[in-house]
Structure 1
Amino acid sequence: MELRDPPTLPHILLVEDDTISQAYFRAVLESLPARVDATATQACALARARATRYDLWLIDLSLPDGTGTELLAQLLDRWPQPPPALAHTAEAGPGPRAEALRAGFGDLLVKPVSSAGLAAAVRTALAAGVALPDWDNAAAAIALNHDPANVKALRRLFLDELPGAHAAVVDSARKGDAATLRARLHRLQASCGLVGAPRLADAVESLRRTPESQAALERFDHAARDLIR
């Protein structure tokens, strides 16, 4: 029998100062499965993150020695190419969510969060952190009946239209024009599937789910610009 190396588990930094909540989060995360380093303060989290490249940061917005948004800003200074980050808080309402998304968190989980909800949010965030290729030739070939000429022609048209679509999405997102943003993203998502542009498609879906998120908008901007070059 061929022996294979065990799969590498995602490594998560959990920042939560309430001992019961920390134990609950750890149990759910480890059941995914995942490796979890749990800390209760900004200082401890920064010490951990200086030495370890994590696959996800899961951070409480309220900590004994500061806020989760302050912690995220310091982590982003340390890691210019950061992993996904999720915030969690016991405070419901639009204010904390908007603040978290502006700070760069991908989403905000409101406690108490169900085990299924926590697991789903973490899986989605981890998937978003996986590096996708700009082009998937196999997917495009399947979508266009395995005709290389069709793939080439449609990609040329896609790239001709992408600068205008990119500018329209960024403009509508910054203006908070939700209707225009949804329409533009819907058209782009369909086009990405046809031409086999998985990285941009993933960024489009992330922005569609969290249109208020500055991090999602930046992911979209970078993915589109890399194709436009």
Structure 2
Amino acid sequence: MSLGTILLHPGYCIPIVHYACIAQAAHVLFEALDNYQKQSYRSRTKIATANGILQLTIPIVHNRGSERHQLTFDVVLENKFHWQRDHWRSLKIAYQTSPYFEYYEDAFEPLYTTTYTKLIDFNLACHECIMECLQLEKEITYTEEYFRDPKPPITNLRHLITSKKEPDYKLPKYHQLFHDKHGYLPNLSILDLLFNEGPNALSYLEQVDLSPVFR
């Protein structure tokens, strides 16, 4: 399936299906004017560990009563917690024996040792790093107004940001480090694909059948 312009929410090392859409799109439009919502991939990601799926969640500063009206681009990180240190430690423990973790380690470590003030700045830094590791160049712009119901030529994929009750996107299997213990775990963070498949990750993304995304 060939995609033109897709509309997505930027998130925290977002799942594989997001990057399959990005890889197969001509142009990516990131939503810049949405209200922040908890329990989504805006501030969380899922990785595979020896004990199963681990959810890494970024703490944010909660504004009293105004959170539902707070733009995602304005959300401030709660840096009094050592979440970057903890997330990087979790990633190293989970993936240090994977085939390509050492290959990408130097690219990702600065994300977890640099202080960011806003959630969006950290998420976009992660995205830029991931795109570079994938060796994927894609034109990306940001919305200048909020479209409740985007019309063609824009394909609205903002629903992918939810982390609740995800449908089965029928993603093809690839080698995962703990497959013998937990079976295949679909649609984890793009980091899982990168650390396990390395340079083959882009070819994988380009071949994903995206039909289930539109059902």
TM range (shorter): under 0.3
Larger RCO: Structure 1 or Structure 2 (Cα < 8 Å, ≥ 6 residues apart)?
2
**TM-score, normalization by structure 1:** 0.24
Rg larger for: 1
**TM-score of the aligned structures, taking structure 2 as reference length:** 0.25
